[in-house]
Structure 1
Amino acid sequence: MLQKIIFIFLLVILVSCGQETQPKPYGELRLEYPKPHYKLFNSNSPFTFEYSDYAEITPAKKKDWYNLSYKKMKANVFITYFPIHNDFNLHLKEAEKMVYEHTIKASAIDTQSFSYPNHNVFGNFYQLQGQTASNIQFFVTDSTKHFVTANLYFNSRPKPDSLAPAIAYIKKDLEHMISTFKWK
């Protein structure tokens, strides 16, 4: 009986010895978001635009200020409106100041100017790289009467690699928003 147990034990050891075990690579979380469908934002504000139905828009503290929330991503785009009263340069400097306050943590700031003369819409789009609190900011203006700023923030610690899929998704939505922006 003891010989049979020893024989089975040795057989199991010989059979189990084979290839060396290899460590398995860490699995990466695959984040997939729905294909966006856009709807028109049209309120009493002096502007309209299209935004993703994956987001929800709600009024903020002041008149013509809004929060565009991507709840499943824990992200918010804060949209602010300022009427221009001979203070265009002040609003422009303030918008740029908001962007460049992040230079301490930003590894790069990509700036893209845009112009839609048919809608009288002009501005800059800023994408901030690195561990910044805000990943995307932009302003839209007609340079005479209206000035709108928007800032993207996540309700989490800034981890660029983890947030990259969500940032890319929201970036496309914001680019669509800008391209459909119109003044009333």
Structure 2
Amino acid sequence: MKEKITKYFALIIVFGLFSCGDESVPKPKGHLSLEYPNAKYETLKTNCAYQFDVNKSGQIKDKNCSFEINYPKMKATIYLTHKSVDNNINDLLRDAQKLTYEHVIKADDILEQPFINDKKKVYGMFYQVGGNAATNAQFYATDSTKNFITGSVYFYAKPNFDSILPAAKYLQDDMRRIMETLEWK
């Protein structure tokens, strides 16, 4: 009987040694979870010909009434460029539209959304660029007589729309807020 127990015990040890291997176990699918704080806005009062609401989490650099709003956690920047209208509104509009449509090579689609605020005399277009383009949102706004502003967002990484989607959405909302609160002085 002791021999049978010893044989069974030996068999269990042998099976135990050979049963442990480097088998790979597939990991369950997961999704990257990026969460950003709720946006809190304040009016950026400037000595420029315009003002607008800006997200408090952005770091602002003023360069002769053209602004860079940097978001270090998202590795992105919103660029705002101001130009004076001097009988060149058609050229400015053409350049702004050309800038957007240069991304058509990498973009899956470009959604145009007109913007009109007669009360504040702000007229423009918001472009939502889908796909792996260098920018996923751009806009222009003008009073059509004195001021013209373009805005675009760029990330400091190779574009991969799926992985930057939460940050892209967050910054698109900030850009819409800038455009919607834009006021000429």
| Corresponding position: 1:51 with 2:54 | yes
CA drift at 1:27: 2.1
**Counterpart code for 2:140:** F
Q: What residue in structure 2 maps to residue 151 of structure 1?
A: 152
Structure 1 segments unaligned to the other structure (5+ residues): none
| Corresponding position: 1:42 with 2:45 | yes
Other structure's SS at 2:136 match: strand
| Corresponding position: 1:26 with 2:29 | yes
CA drift at 1:105: 1.0
CA drift at 1:10: 7.5
CA drift at 1:22: 7.0
Q: 1:126 & 1:31 partners in 2: Cα distance?
A: 24
Q: 2:69 & 2:56 partners in 1: Cα distance?
A: 11
Structure 2 segments unaligned to the other structure (5+ residues): none
Structure 1 length normalisation: TM-score? Answer: 0.88
Other structure's SS at 1:49 match: strand
Q: What residue in structure 1 maps to residue 175 of structure 2?
A: 174
CA drift at 1:3: 2.6
Rg larger for: 2
CA drift at 1:12: 5.9
Q: 1:45 & 1:11 partners in 2: Cα distance?
A: 80
Other structure's SS at 1:93 match: helix
Other structure's SS at 1:73 match: coil
Aligned residue pair count: 177
Q: 2:102 & 2:14 partners in 1: Cα distance?
A: 69
| Corresponding position: 1:92 with 2:96 | no
Q: What residue in structure 2 maps to residue 5 of structure 1?
A: 9
**Residue pair 2:129, 2:137 contacting (<8 A) in 1 also:** yes
CA RMSD of aligned residues (A): 2.1
Q: 2:28 & 2:127 partners in 1: Cα distance?
A: 35
Q: 2:57 & 2:9 partners in 1: Cα distance?
A: 64
Structure 2 length normalisation: TM-score? Answer: 0.88
Q: What residue in structure 2 maps to residue 117 of structure 1?
A: 118
CA drift at 1:4: 5.3
Q: 2:113 & 2:103 partners in 1: Cα distance?
A: 17
Q: 2:128 & 2:26 partners in 1: Cα distance?
A: 37
